[in-house]
Structure 1
Amino acid sequence: MTIDQIYTRFLSCSTVSTDTRTISENCMFFALKGENFNGNKFASEALKKGASFCIVDELEYAVDERYILTANVLNTLQQLATQHRKQLNTPIIALTGSNGKTTTKELINAVLSQKYNTIATKGNLNNHIGVPLTLLELTKDTEIGIVEMGANHQKEIEFLCTIALPDYGLITNFGKAHLEGFGGVEGVIKGKSELYVHLKQQHKTIFINETDTLQIKQAGDYDDIIKFGNDISLEHAPPYFNITFNTSEIKSKLTGIYNFNNICAAIAIGSHFGVPDEAIVSGIETYVPKNNRSQLIEKNNLNIILDAYNANPTSMLAALQNLQIQEHTRKIAILGDMFELGKEASQEHQAIVDFVGDLDVDSVIFVGRHFYKTNSNAAKIRFFETFEDLKSKVSELELDNALLLIKGSRGMALERVLDLV
């Protein structure tokens, strides 16, 4: 069956699904495969739960006309998404970067949705499966689509661009993330810059923070660049910060000066698309971070900055610098290992330990095997090899009446600390 024929059937469906636990009536089910599962085996279950069609790639499961046999389910999902994107021709904004992608995406959506009917990537579904699923949510009523693109190796952003075909693009920053897959910092820069390359080849628009000289260099000489950042000012208002642009002031609900550039991007994109200043203010002021990203939580007698969704050396330093400037009598950090750093893991973990030795905070607790292998003579530093070790000693850490930063890579799941305090 051709992609055009599959697309005709897709248009008769209500939505798509890749998980039999979330089947809805009249959806199209894609039987994806993974290292430990084969979606073809669940196709009949999807039909019983209400799916109208199942895309499969193993002949034995295609037993009637409701099963659509293809060479590869994942490729079909991706091709169908591009077909849908082309048919609707909805303006697509793509964004990537080492840090702040999801927060920036949410801020852009909060601003643009003040004026437009928007669709944005849900959570961080930003890979070769998540990007197609986002595109397939577009409808004829969608006025702007906002697509987050993640990557941990080169050529991945390039590939995602061929699926989404973005009209506009933004890179939040270049940082020390996924060094193992990218092959070092230079690999990160090259890999993320694939978005710039695609946009320039297609004569599309780049949004770029003109205060970031590295991004300016990577974008190069191109005549469709919208620069932002220099005309927006920041005022620290612990635990948050305020922003002034034009004659308007924004009282954000975000902690961390590292979020300043994320807000600047949302302001710039909103302004470009004609969102009135007062609506931009409203969109940003009503945005409250969630999902373990720069969340401010009060629990018992603790004020907590929960930033435990992920971590890399760049974001870890930024979070610690933010902790240091906060106005609180006691400041404590619980920091977990940073993953996917490859051969630079030892060096980068030691660099964080060395940094906190001179930091104006009361106590730093490191958790994880990488940090456990580092060295420090600072009295304020403690090491625990595993989370269970931390759990057994948490009563000794004197966390009362403190501002507590919790940060680590996703695999550390340090949001579990909330159950201990």
Structure 2
Amino acid sequence: MKYEIKEIASTLGVSSSNLNYSEITTLLTDSRKITDPSKTLFFALESKNNDAHNYISELYASGVRNFVVSKQRNEWKDLKGANFFKVRNCLSALQKLAQHHRSKFNIPIIGITGSNGKTVVKEWLYQLLEKDYNIVRSPRSYNSQIGVPLSVWQLDNDAELGIFEAGISKPDEMENLEPIIRPTIGVLTKIGDAHQENFDSLQQKTLEKLELFKNCEVFVYDEDNELVSSCVDLKVLSQKTFSWSRKNREAHLFISDIEKLENSTKIEYSFLNFYYSFEIPFIDDASIENAINCLAIALYLHVSPNEISERMSTLEPVAMRLDVRKGKHGSLIINDSYNSDVNSIKIALDFQHQRKMDRKLKKTLILSDILQSGVPPKRLYKRVADMAEQSGIERIIGIGKDILANADLFTMPDKTFFLTTDDFLKSCIQDSFRDELILLKGARRFNFERINNILEERIHETVLEVDLDAVVHNFNFYKSKLNSNVKLVCMVKANAYGAGAVEIAKTLQYHRCDYLAVAVAEEAVTLRNEGISLPIIVLNPEVNGFEELITNNLEPEVYNMRILESFINNSERSGITNYPIHLKIDTGMHRLGFLPEQIEELVETLKKQKGLRVSSIFSHLSASESWSFDDFTHQQMETFRAAAQKIENELGYSVHKHILNSAGIERFNDYEWDMARLGIGLYGVSPSGLSGLKNVCTLKSTILQIKKISSNETIGYGRKEKLDHDARIATIRFGYADGMDRQFGNRKGKVLINGQNAPIVGNVCMDLSMVDVTDIKAEEGDTVVLFGEGLPVTDLAESIGTIPYEILTSVSPRVKRVYIKE
């Protein structure tokens, strides 16, 4: 929908005089995601660590002309043709505009909240109801104070039903979201401990969530949950409920029986005194509860029990993440082949744009028909074609009857269309892909996993899953502990602690990290070749490597007179002046760095030359994670303070100063100075045991074979372990060549199989290991978690007397890295 600029001004309570005429179709809060600049309204949101007002000039240069701001800057006076809407709070303005937009629609709107299951219920309702309605729904899990208004803004004249999530993390947030969604139908999913830290009790959080339903016609909940039922009574909402129960036959919806079969669950229920049943292709308790919530909504919307039964049987898993995998012939694959609605296409295209950077990869989109959109095909595919063009797609391959019929709408020269996935596979066009960034975006019925399988470079079934959202969370977690003007240097050395330096660096660059740091120049050159343009510090440069540093714009650490004098000589021979270097001071670690007694010689040498300029002075804390060494840590900091002050005074100019590492940020942020360095904390491991981080890396393999072995038999090389019981022994596809420390053998280590710990038995082999699954329901082909969620890398390290760093960085290059993002 289009809004004239005067209507927006009126809605925001801003004068419309002197405004340049404009029409708005897009609301933007992230300056990196521009698609249609002339029709975009940008909201300059502020947070503790970022101020989007800083990006307005950059956005103007990209064609954006309409801005909602909470302050005025002199630099904007020369931005001709720009409209500025001055408001008190930009987030409130965004929410107010979305609320106004919502008021224009008199259609059923389903609002979903709870601690767990919101996204699954939303997606399953879409699957169950898409044949009956043209549905607009929250993209992925857009359920925050920013995500909800952006989701509701998607409502247009074709919409017949809206389904939106609402998530909260602290009290009083729901009162902002309720008038934006203004649901006519509500669903309360499972209440749990997620985001509990800001609430006094589960009751307080439940009451807050129920605020979403205060103006509903009806809302669905599990009345067997005593906490929820008591809160419903406290809110005086019982007259609006459509409750379900496994115990109360008088409930609106009575679940009379739940029978778990081998691969499915049969659910019997009573509604309006008639008995019905259906099956879902899931057996876990969470899926059963989510399906019952969906059942209640479908019944309320008059979907027949027969239709419900048929549709429930074909429910598909909800893939809430897309992943990045290495493809053949230098290509990279972004796999989002689970759905292809228009809004998810936009998100996937944005993510594809993030990954390209400056590396010369051709941007390719493989797209299926968009099913059940409710929009006339010509209008729908014109919109998709415009999105693809705005995102810089250079090659498109369309698969499906409708997209084939509208092929002429796509203007890029390199385009090919097929009727079916089989036709695509038979064409052998896949053999032509070279150095391409390929986005796979298809509805599930098109089986795009078959395309992924032939495009993906397969190395080894064992994979290291790297959660890019967790990286961003941890990055922001540590940024929040520092003042907004403190720069953050992120460590991506040792292949980003095993996680994969290139993809981690791309993610950090997109999220405006200030600096990266690597150990050696070779690591940095790899990043430069992949399009990373951030400043990079090389911590252990070669004495004779200055030319490589300047060629690739890399900033060396300088830690002794030998390397300093070498770099000075090289800069003079090259005619270079003021090349940035970073001075390392040894304050007690006694590894690399200038000792305090060397400072005078250091500054005299620096003052006599012009080739190098000190960008920062830093030191390394020896034991900042340990309370027992706090006196020594404070001593290091005072030594550093004195050294840095002397260097600055002698040089006559200010430089950045930094000493805090991950543990230092956690415990000593009074000493943050100008910069801080984030290492192991970025990857989800807190050196001091701080809570709040998210696990980044999960290492997975599979069971190759299971055997029954009798008591008194031995397992593995050297016959080191003799069984004292009849056992089921599983052989897994992971050995010391993959990164399994041999110390884990003979029951010192363990893995996780189907949620249970399985001890490693016998000696670890080069490519394989054996585990005892006697008391575990395990089958050949089952997934084995070697570390990750449920089996922390810290626990594994402790079991063999090492540190998490060693476990993470030991994962072999032959283990495939898969990058996932919500």
Q: TM-score range by the shorter chain?
A: 0.5 to 0.7
Counterpart of 1:156 (choices 173, 184, 191) is 173
Counterpart of 1:213 (choices 221, 226, 229) is 226
Q: Helix, strand or coil for the counterpart of 1:22?
A: coil
Contact 1:91–1:145 (Cα < 8 Å) also in 2: yes
Looking at structure 2, the residues matched to 384 and 237 of structure 1 have their Cα atoms a distance apart, in angstroms, of 44
Looking at structure 2, the residues matched to 100 and 238 of structure 1 have their Cα atoms a distance apart, in angstroms, of 23
Looking at structure 2, the residues matched to 214 and 135 of structure 1 have their Cα atoms a distance apart, in angstroms, of 30
Question: Do residues 128 (structure 1) and 178 (structure 2) align?
Answer: no
Q: Which residue of 2 aligns with 1:58?
A: 71
1:270-285 alignment to 2 at 5 Å? 270-281=298-309, 283-284=311-312, 285=314
Contact 2:112–2:165 (Cα < 8 Å) also in 1: yes
Specify every segment of 5 or more residues in structure 2 that has no aligned partner in the other structure, as ranges: 1-8, 247-253, 270-274, 323-337, 339-448, 471-690, 692-706, 708-727, 731-751, 757-773, 779-783
Q: Taking structure 2 as the reference length, what is the TM-score of the superposition?
A: 0.37
Q: Helix, strand or coil for the counterpart of 2:186?
A: strand
1:4-23 alignment to 2 at 5 Å? 12-23=23-34
Looking at structure 2, the residues matched to 55 and 307 of structure 1 have their Cα atoms a distance apart, in angstroms, of 33
Looking at structure 2, the residues matched to 306 and 249 of structure 1 have their Cα atoms a distance apart, in angstroms, of 37
1:253-283 deviation per Cα after TM superposition (whole angstroms, max 9, x unaligned)? x452221110111111111112334543455
Q: Which residue of 1 aligns with 2:319?
A: 290
RMSD: 4.7
Counterpart of 1:258 (choices 278, 286, 290) is 286
- For 1:241, the aligned partner's letter is T
Counterpart of 2:124 (choices 91, 96, 107) is 107
Decide which structure has greater helix share.
1
The 1:4/1:33 distance shift into structure 2, 3 A limit, reads closer
Alpha-carbon offset, residue 172 of structure 1: 0.8
Counterpart of 1:193 (choices 204, 207, 213) is 207
Contact 2:463–2:817 (Cα < 8 Å) also in 1: no
1:402-421 alignment to 2 at 5 Å? none
The 1:40/1:390 distance shift into structure 2, 3 A limit, reads closer
1:160-199 alignment to 2 at 5 Å? 160-183=177-200, 187-197=201-211, 199=213
Contact 1:207–1:225 (Cα < 8 Å) also in 2: yes
Looking at structure 2, the residues matched to 383 and 97 of structure 1 have their Cα atoms a distance apart, in angstroms, of 41
Looking at structure 1, the residues matched to 468 and 283 of structure 2 have their Cα atoms a distance apart, in angstroms, of 14
Contact 1:108–1:265 (Cα < 8 Å) also in 2: no
Q: Helix, strand or coil for the counterpart of 1:119?
A: strand
Looking at structure 1, the residues matched to 464 and 305 of structure 2 have their Cα atoms a distance apart, in angstroms, of 32
- For 1:191, the aligned partner's letter is K
The 1:361/1:282 distance shift into structure 2, 3 A limit, reads closer
Q: Which residue of 1 aligns with 2:105?
A: 88
Alpha-carbon offset, residue 239 of structure 1: 4.6
Computing the radius of gyration from Cα coordinates, the structure with the larger value is 2
Looking at structure 2, the residues matched to 360 and 140 of structure 1 have their Cα atoms a distance apart, in angstroms, of 54
The 1:219/1:302 distance shift into structure 2, 3 A limit, reads farther
Q: Taking structure 1 as the reference length, what is the TM-score of the superposition?
A: 0.68
Q: Which has the higher contact order (CA 8 A, sep 6+)?
A: 1
Looking at structure 2, the residues matched to 37 and 418 of structure 1 have their Cα atoms a distance apart, in angstroms, of 26
Alpha-carbon offset, residue 237 of structure 1: 3.5
- For 2:105, the aligned partner's letter is L
Q: Which residue of 1 aligns with 2:536?
A: none
Q: Helix, strand or coil for the counterpart of 2:231?
A: helix
Q: Which residue of 2 aligns with 1:27?
A: 40
Counterpart of 2:244 (choices 215, 228, 253) is 228
Q: Which residue of 2 aligns with 1:36?
A: 49
- For 1:29, the aligned partner's letter is F
Looking at structure 2, the residues matched to 365 and 383 of structure 1 have their Cα atoms a distance apart, in angstroms, of 17
Q: Helix, strand or coil for the counterpart of 1:88?
A: coil
The 1:360/1:158 distance shift into structure 2, 3 A limit, reads farther
Contact 2:465–2:818 (Cα < 8 Å) also in 1: no
Looking at structure 1, the residues matched to 259 and 63 of structure 2 have their Cα atoms a distance apart, in angstroms, of 53
Contact 2:787–2:793 (Cα < 8 Å) also in 1: yes
Question: Do residues 67 (structure 1) and 67 (structure 2) align?
Answer: no
1:110-156 deviation per Cα after TM superposition (whole angstroms, max 9, x unaligned)? 22322112211111111110111111111132222222111222222
Looking at structure 2, the residues matched to 99 and 55 of structure 1 have their Cα atoms a distance apart, in angstroms, of 34
Q: Which residue of 2 aligns with 1:392?
A: 810
1:211-253 deviation per Cα after TM superposition (whole angstroms, max 9, x unaligned)? 323322221152121112543443323455344555453342x
1:27-50 deviation per Cα after TM superposition (whole angstroms, max 9, x unaligned)? 322222233332223234434445
Specify every segment of 5 or more residues in structure 1 that has no aligned partner in the other structure, as ranges: 313-327, 336-357, 376-380, 396-414
Q: Helix, strand or coil for the counterpart of 1:103?
A: helix
Q: Helix, strand or coil for the counterpart of 2:24?
A: coil
Q: Helix, strand or coil for the counterpart of 2:116?
A: coil
Looking at structure 2, the residues matched to 308 and 281 of structure 1 have their Cα atoms a distance apart, in angstroms, of 37
Looking at structure 1, the residues matched to 123 and 110 of structure 2 have their Cα atoms a distance apart, in angstroms, of 12
The 1:157/1:4 distance shift into structure 2, 3 A limit, reads closer
Q: Which moved more, 1:136-145 or 1:64-73?
A: 64-73
Alpha-carbon offset, residue 392 of structure 1: 2.6
Looking at structure 1, the residues matched to 468 and 261 of structure 2 have their Cα atoms a distance apart, in angstroms, of 23
Equivalent pairs, count: 356
Q: Which moved more, 1:128-137 or 1:146-155?
A: 146-155
The 1:16/1:173 distance shift into structure 2, 3 A limit, reads same
Question: Do residues 2 (structure 1) and 19 (structure 2) align?
Answer: no
Report percent identity of matched pairs.
Answer: 24
Looking at structure 2, the residues matched to 204 and 19 of structure 1 have their Cα atoms a distance apart, in angstroms, of 35
Q: Helix, strand or coil for the counterpart of 1:147?
A: strand
Contact 1:334–1:365 (Cα < 8 Å) also in 2: no
Alpha-carbon offset, residue 159 of structure 1: 3.0
The 1:374/1:304 distance shift into structure 2, 3 A limit, reads closer
